[in-house]
Amino acid sequence: MPTDYYEALGVDRSASTEDIKKAYRKKARRLHPDVNQSDDAEEQFKVLGRAYEVLSDPQKRQSYDTTGDPNGRPAGFGGAGGGFGGFGDIFETFFGGGSAGPASRTRRGQDSLIRVRIDLRDAVFGVTKEVEVETAETCSVCNGSCMRPGTSPTTCPDCHGAGQTQRPMRSILGTVIQTQTCARCSGFGDIIEDPCQECDGQGRARERKTLKVKVPAGVDKGNRIHLAGEGEAGIAGGPAGDLFIEIDIRSHSVFTRRGNDLHATVNVPMTAAALGTHVTLETFDGDESLEVRPGTQSGEVLTLRGKGVTHLRGMGRGDLKVHLKVETPSKLSEKQKELLRMLAEERGEKQGQSSTEHKGMFAKLREAWESV
């Protein structure tokens, strides 16, 4: 095993502290006596620990680079006389440990979800709506710093800015260092002694804001619109979350939606269905004249191409399907009844007698009128 500490760790002399720590962890896993059963494994592991203890400490590393003396305060393999730095990292390597430094106060804000109700017409063509949202916004007084303007945080006296505290303890490996989150500063490394009064030291406050939301044509109930960065502001100036707009659609008095098609029902008087007529339907595109052919039966469907809902992907529009419902009068005057009896007699129909023919009543009426 080389006695040069840089060679022992396998790093250059210009290596950063983080590079040294990574190299140590990698070799420690491979050379630990519980893993490596070679005769000199324990000795290699001791040298590795001493190398890491010296090079991971800025003052010891400077002294080593200057004098080349490896005997400043070497880390022993346990025992009261040895240092604890190397084996604290051994404990972290094999049993886990704390974070590598003070924690950040900043936290990403939460995502938000609100529901917006629109008319069916808006779903057909799209619309821009103003939406009022109550959410957390970056504090306008401290600008997310959490502190009263003009003040600064103080370094935690317990962990000296590290965010962690350490204490030696005995284990099966000898004396190791137990690392814990600093209780006084909660791991942040500093303390805010004069928090902002406006936001109670959170760096954000509840506010109401108005957003203009573009609802695309073709949206359906349950669809969501994603607005990145429009959710709650993060703690201590952290990035904002996202806002999701869930669409709800009001029922329409005339039209119902099935996929991208619209459906409507038009009532046609019995006589108009028999004789034929034109009816006017008010659609989202304006008035449309519908031809009801003589002899039209109840349940027939007229299709208006391209008068439905816009496809969400922008590939044209669906259709408008008009369902015709022939109305049979339920209340007749004596004169009307007599006229219908005369019509039935003229057509050779007898009351109470069913027909096995497939032609409907109004088809027969059409034939009767055409023969006149």
Query: Is the model's pTM score more than 0.75?
Result: no
Give residue for tokens 């917006």.
Answer: 116
Same domain, 231 and 347: no
Same domain, 198 and 117: yes
Is 177 domain-assigned? no
Number of other CB atoms surrounding residue 330 within 10 Å:
5
3-state secondary structure of 292: strand
Number of domains in the chain: 3
3-state secondary structure of 117: strand
Is 229 domain-assigned? yes
Choose the weakest-confidence range: 6-15, 85-94, 322-331.
85-94
Same domain, 127 and 74: no
3-state secondary structure of 139: coil
Same domain, 244 and 265: no
Over residues 241-293, the pLDDT tens digits come to: 999 999 999 999 999 999 999 999 999 998 888 889 999 999 999 999 999 99
**Which CATH number do you get for residue 31?**
1.10.287.110
Choose the weakest-confidence range: 92-101, 203-212, 215-224, 270-279.
92-101
**Which CATH number do you get for residue 333?**
2.60.260.20
Residue 330 is given by DSSP the state S
Same domain, 235 and 124: yes
Residue 109 is given by DSSP the state P
Is 187 domain-assigned? no
Of 61, 95, 129, the last residue of a domain is 95
Same domain, 236 and 275: no
What is the band of 18 on the pLDDT scale with cuts at 50, 70, 90? confident
* CA angle (16, 17, 20) in 5-degree steps: 90
Of 95, 123, 142, the last residue of a domain is 95
Same domain, 84 and 118: no
Q: Does 146 belong to an annotated binding site?
A: no
Q: Does 199 belong to an annotated binding site?
A: yes
Q: What is the pLDDT at residue 345?
A: 83
Same domain, 206 and 306: no
Same domain, 306 and 235: no
Is 132 domain-assigned? yes
What is the band of 351 on the pLDDT scale with cuts at 50, 70, 90? low
Domain that holds residue 123: 112-150+192-249
Over residues 70-116, the pLDDT tens digits come to: 654 433 333 333 334 444 444 444 444 444 568 888 989 999 999 99
Of 208, 230, 249, the last residue of a domain is 249
HSE-up of residue 127 (Cα within 13 Å, Cβ side): 15
Please, is 41 exposed, middle or buried when counting C-beta atoms within 10 Å of its C-beta (0-12, 13-18, 19+)?
middle
**218 in Cβ contact with 310 (< 8 Å):** yes
Q: What is the pLDDT at residue 95?
A: 44
Same domain, 56 and 138: no
Is 38 domain-assigned? yes
Same domain, 198 and 300: no
Same domain, 143 and 235: yes
